[in-house]
Amino acid sequence: MNAPRTWNGLDIVLPVYNEELPIVHEALDKLAQVFSNMPDVTIIVVNDGSDKSFGLDSLAHCDGILYCEHEENRGYGAALKTGILAGRAPWIAIVDADGTYPIEELPKLLAQMEKHDMVIGARTGPVSEIPRLRRFPKSMLNLFASLMAGVFIPDLNSGMRVFSRQLCYYLWGFFPAGFSFTSTLTMGAQMGGFRTKNVPINYYKRSGQSSIRPVHDTIRFFRIVCRLGLIFYPMKLFAPVAVLLFAVGFVKAVFRDYWLIGTIGATSQTTMLAGLEIFMIGLIAHLIVLNRSFHLEPAAEPGRLAHSGEGPEDALRKAANM
């Protein structure tokens, strides 16, 4: 594979936690083979406090990788943040080392980066071995996130993607320590006006035991989406609730209270007033968001890197000197 025209280097971050050592070595071998002809590619492995019985600390002696280690398990997001901070390249790729993602398709994502700030490997390919227990919650989460972002999101929390360091640092303060890192990155990029693209990829059955807790993590994903909605588009949360309360109160006032007893009851009045108050709170939150937007200056204009002819590193350097 040839490097893109604006190539300035790539950091590939692999977080590992209690993975079987041969599976991790297989992932590293695939990465080394796929990117053997590309310059300035750094493979960063982050051992997130794995049990010593898995022998993952032996990766520290492997050639061709940068090894980082947490003394105790801190979470998927924390591992990614450690790996990102350990690198310096303007473009970052993340992928799991458990055999679920087609590492050989990373170059397909990378090829789209000249025109985008993030390219996501959406798990919508011909092979999609997502556990049945997670399929329905995942579909509902994608639908809810799409409604909040105002754009269709086929895969909110895919663990295989390429993105610019500029985008990552722009959203740095929002990233949690857990599995919600990728969800936050997707929602933040969409709501922040960055240019993203979804590329269909296959998804295979995981080797080993997953550390994801379906119910707990799904609830947390929904909470993250709501939080980001409040940060970027608060009216998308406040307006539906306000309209629903006002409509219920109005229907009750007209078609029950006034029709039957000739007056509007206290419950109807209270419900309509609650709807109006929530709507006003939403307007205030929207004004706060607008006021913050006028004072914040991102590192570079979203999507600017795609057409400027310069690399991400040049834009970051210029922004730092402003």
Task: Give the DSSP letter string of 84-125.
Answer: HHH---SEEEE--SSS-S-GGGHHHHHTTGGG-SEEEEES-S
Question: Is 56 found in the same domain as 153?
Answer: yes
Q: Which one of 209, 230, 251 terminates a domain?
A: 230
pLDDT of residue 213: 59
As a whole number, mean pLDDT of residues 107-116 equals: 91
Q: How many whole angstroms separate alpha carbon 168 and alpha carbon 170?
A: 5
Instruction: Write down the mean pLDDT value for the chain.
Output: 82
Is 252 inside any structural domain?
yes
Question: Is 270 found in the same domain as 196?
Answer: no
Residue 128: domain span: 10-230
pLDDT of residue 95: 96
Is 5 inside any structural domain?
no
The answer to whether residue 103 scores a pLDDT higher than 80 is yes
Q: Which one of 230, 251, 279 terminates a domain?
A: 230
Question: Is 152 found in the same domain as 57?
Answer: yes
Question: Is 221 found in the same domain as 159?
Answer: yes
Is 4 inside any structural domain?
no
Question: Is 154 found in the same domain as 250?
Answer: no
φ, ψ of residue 203 to 5 degrees: the values are -140, 125
Residues 224 and 149: beta-carbon distance below 8 Å? no
Is 3 inside any structural domain?
no
Question: Is 220 found in the same domain as 88?
Answer: yes
Most confident of 29-33, 34-38, 185-189, 282-286: 29-33
The answer to whether residue 309 scores a pLDDT higher than 80 is no
Q: Which one of 203, 230, 257 terminates a domain?
A: 230
Question: Is 89 found in the same domain as 42?
Answer: yes
pLDDT of residue 125: 86
Helix (H) or strand (E) run with residue 46 in it: strand 41-48
Is 1 inside any structural domain?
no
The answer to whether residue 40 scores a pLDDT higher than 50 is yes
As a whole number, mean pLDDT of residues 266-279 equals: 93
Is 287 inside any structural domain?
yes
Is 276 inside any structural domain?
yes
CATH number at residue 71: 3.90.550.10
Question: Is 152 found in the same domain as 49?
Answer: yes
The answer to whether residue 30 scores a pLDDT higher than 90 is yes
6 pLDDT band, cuts 50/70/90, is low
Question: Is 257 found in the same domain as 200?
Answer: no
28 pLDDT band, cuts 50/70/90, is very high
Residues of the chain with pLDDT > 70, as a percent, come to 82
The answer to whether residue 259 scores a pLDDT higher than 90 is no
pLDDT of residue 304: 36
Say if strands 118-122 and 91-94 run parallel, antiparallel, or are unpaired.
Answer: unpaired
Is 59 inside any structural domain?
yes
Q: Number of structural domains, the chain? A: 2
Question: Is 225 found in the same domain as 274?
Answer: no
As a whole number, mean pLDDT of residues 151-163 equals: 92
Question: Is 264 found in the same domain as 168?
Answer: no
Question: Is 139 found in the same domain as 111?
Answer: yes
Q: How many whole angstroms separate alpha carbon 60 and alpha carbon 62?
A: 6
As a whole number, mean pLDDT of residues 209-222 equals: 63
Say if strands 10-16 and 41-48 run parallel, antiparallel, or are unpaired.
Answer: parallel
